[in-house]
Structure 1
Amino acid sequence: MAYSEDYRQMILSKLEKGDSFRKLAAEYQLSPVTIQRWKKNPKRKQRVFRPLKIDNQKLIEDVATYPDSYHHERAIRLSCSPRGIGMALKRLGISQKKDP
């Protein structure tokens, strides 16, 4: 659970006024280690999200442009994982058929 920066600053200001880690932890139902981490770095970590799905149109264009590419080559061009390419191609119904 992420706490707001205002909440963190309020607890850290009480810590600076002389309250102990244990007292604040018991009062706000937090771990003393959490408060210690906030004291070291009061800013919240920013999570970096990668796109969950590959753009279908870009993938279709890539398949048309490079029909013999491997999944790992497509993954580099589209900035995703080879497994993601395989799942997206399956979702679109595109498969590589072998000639007999």
Structure 2
Amino acid sequence: MSYSIDFRRKVIFTMEEEGLSIRETAKQFRIGAASVSRWINQIEPKALTTRQRKIDKSELIKDVEQYPDAYQKERAERFSVFEKAIWQALKKWD
């Protein structure tokens, strides 16, 4: 469940106004201290990233030929998948 931005602002405002610690604030609002801590740095929720589910074998082969020394992280970014998906595809297709 995601808390509304208004609620998040209220929590941070109350914490600053009353001089409460993160733990005290969390206890007062009955939420997790990690949430309060995260909201101090970034009040807006992070946008969800969409990743494709399958890697095209021919496209991956072309990518390996074009960038033979590329890191799996770089390939994952190009294919919009997680690094583990690249690792699994490379292992599967040798």
| TM-score, L = length of structure 1 | 0.47
Which structure has the larger Rg? 1
More helix by share: 2
TM-score (norm 2): 0.50
